[in-house]
């Protein structure tokens, strides 16, 4: 039998080569991606483009139908490459989880939201583990990619997959490799972002790294699944804490009558020891507003209080309220009240030039304005409708953005700085602009109408 040296980066051992390694090398291994959303679809495409037969597993029949027609359902992913991969037979999708029995490698990319009590919601991971458990067979590789607290792979997923009597590290391989997607980022994508990988055992790490190395540019091995899980949280908590810092500085600058954006620009000229972060109306997206709570929850289990992280969360959570307060003050300066004011919100997505509204501060701000009696409309070129929920009492539809329409509002709030909007035209037509993104920085005419918030 062929023997190989299993190298984890943290020691090595001499052992027979795992049979799956050869199947991965020759692209004969069949790959399954569980959860075909913002993370799963580009990951599935990366492996299909690397020559693997990839099957997407998802409970959402709509996604499966789109893929069967060769269509993308995510704005920043074009349909042409999806169509090419599905036509070649290398990419397919199904709602039938029984297909997992015939797959060699299963990559789990399901959501990890928070409960209403702001605690980790493991529902999607546990339901996926339960659905896959009956199909676990010897020789398979399972990798969890969902962002979660340290210990999830070992304490939550592993027991579910071992229900049939097979053992991780002995009968099947188990690893954790956090997703690092950044929708809309033109510089980095799934294939070029370095991939952290932690294995249940050194052999698990070896097999998982071998798989990712076939489709992605770089892999970064770590000593355990727990290290990989915490590394992902650290990445986003780093951003959360630094954004909280500039958000707090922004509020101080407003009282000092200083432009925080100018301050940040000046500080950014330092060629070492400084990294610019920018304020905003609050945190959005699936990661940064949520990930800190995963770690603080786990820390409480160990009787440790992450005061610094929790303080950052408090600052960022208060930003929508601050925006509403600044809007109220700006209206008062024009002898108008928030109650009864007609307001137009620009941007419902959480981030510039994406169509994702998950945890978007815009939704919270709209609901807060409505609760205080304002009549609110929104315009977002990428988000045509907003469903009821998330504080919204009814479904909303994006309104047309024309000079005539803008003139009919008492104020315009810039909450997402989509690049497709003519902000000079907005400022010219508006009676008042509350800018939370510095989108109007280049506008020279009508500066007296602009309030930074």
Tokens 């040296």 found at: 5
State whether the Cα torsion 63-64-69-71 is positive or negative: positive
Contact of 56 with 91, CB cutoff 8 Å = yes
Total Cβ atoms within 10 A of residue 216: 21
Burial class (CB in 10 A: 0-12, 13-18, 19+), 370: middle
Instruction: Report CA 216 to chain centroid distance, whole Å.
Output: 19
Contact of 169 with 201, CB cutoff 8 Å = yes
For residue 238, give every residue at least 6 positions away whose Cβ sits within 8 Å of its Cβ, in sequence order, or none.
Answer: none
Which one of 105, 204, 240, 287 is the catalytic residue?
287
Contact of 110 with 74, CB cutoff 8 Å = no
Say what angle helices 291-301 and 225-256 make with each other, to 10 degrees: 120
The enclosing H or E element of 173 equals strand 173-176
Residues in the chain: 453
Helices (H), ranges, 257-358: 260-267, 291-301, 307-333
Nearest Cα neighbor of 412 from 106, 421, 170, 319 is 421
Token pair in block for residue 87: 């036509």
Ramachandran angles phi, psi of 199, nearest 5°? -110, 155
**What dihedral do alpha carbons 79, 83, 85, 88 form, nearest 10°?**
-170
**Active-site annotation holds for 253:** no
Fill in the DSSP letter of residue 156: I
Instruction: Report CA 436 to chain centroid distance, whole Å.
Output: 21
Half-sphere exposure of 417 (CA within 13 A, CB side): 16
Strands 141-144 and 91-94: unpaired
> Which residues lie across from 346 on neighbouring strands?
379, 414
Contact of 166 with 138, CB cutoff 8 Å = yes
- Residues recognised as catalytic: 287
């Amino acid at each position: 039998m062929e023997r190989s040296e299993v190298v984890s980066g943290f020691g090595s051992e001499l052992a027979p080569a795992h049979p799956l390694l050869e199947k991965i090398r020759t692209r004969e291994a069949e790959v399954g991606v569980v959860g075909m959303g913002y993370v799963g679809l580009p990951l599935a495409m990366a492996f299909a483009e690397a020559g693997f037969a990839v099957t997407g597993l998802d409970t959402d029949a709509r996604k499966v139908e789109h893929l069967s027609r060769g269509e993308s359902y995510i704005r920043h992913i074009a349909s042409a490459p999806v169509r090419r991969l599905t036509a070649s037979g290398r990419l397919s999708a199904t709602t039938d989880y029984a297909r997992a029995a015939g797959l060699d490698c299963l990559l789990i990319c399901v959501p990890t939201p928070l409960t209403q009590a702001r605690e980790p919601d493991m529902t999607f991971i546990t339901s996926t583990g339960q659905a896959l458990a009956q199909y676990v067979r010897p020789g398979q590789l399972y990798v969890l990619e969902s962002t979660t607290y340290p210990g999830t792979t070992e304490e939550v997923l592993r027991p579910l997959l071992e229900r049939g009597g097979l053992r991780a590290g002995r009968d099947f391989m188990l690893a954790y490799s956090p997703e690092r997607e950044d929708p809309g980022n033109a510089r980095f994508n799934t294939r070029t972002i370095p991939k952290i990988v932690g294995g249940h055992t050194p052999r698990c790490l070896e097999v998982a790294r071998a798989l990712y190395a076939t489709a992605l540019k770089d892999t970064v091995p770590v000593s355990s699944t727990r290290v990989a899980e915490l590394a992902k949280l650290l990445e986003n908590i780093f951003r959360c804490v630094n954004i909280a810092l500039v958000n707090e500085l922004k509020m101080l600058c407003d009282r000092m009558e200083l432009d925080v954006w100018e301050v940040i620009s000046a500080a950014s000229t330092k060629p070492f020891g400084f990294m610019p972060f920018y304020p905003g109306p609050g945190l959005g997206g699936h990661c940064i507003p949520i990930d800190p709570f995963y770690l603080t929850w786990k820390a409480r289990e160990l009787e440790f209080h992450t005061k610094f992280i929790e303080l950052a969360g408090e600052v960022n959570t208060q930003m929508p309220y601050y925006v509403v307060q600044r809007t109220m003050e700006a209206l008062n300066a024009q002898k108008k009240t928030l109650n009864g004011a007609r307001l137009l919100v620009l941007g419902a997505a959480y981030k510039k030039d994406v169509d994702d509204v998950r945890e978007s501060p815009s939704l919270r701000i709209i609901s807060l304005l409505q609760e205080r009696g304002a009549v609110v409309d929104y315009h977002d070129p990428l988000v045509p409708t907003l469903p009821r929920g998330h504080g919204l009492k009814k479904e909303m539809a994006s309104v047309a953005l024309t000079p005539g329409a803008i003139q009919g509002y008492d104020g315009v709030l810039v909450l997402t700085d989509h690049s497709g909007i003519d902000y000079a035209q907005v400022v010219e037509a508006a009676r008042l602009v509350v800018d939370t993104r510095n989108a109007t920085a280049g506008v020279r005419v009508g500066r007296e109408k602009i309030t930074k918030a």
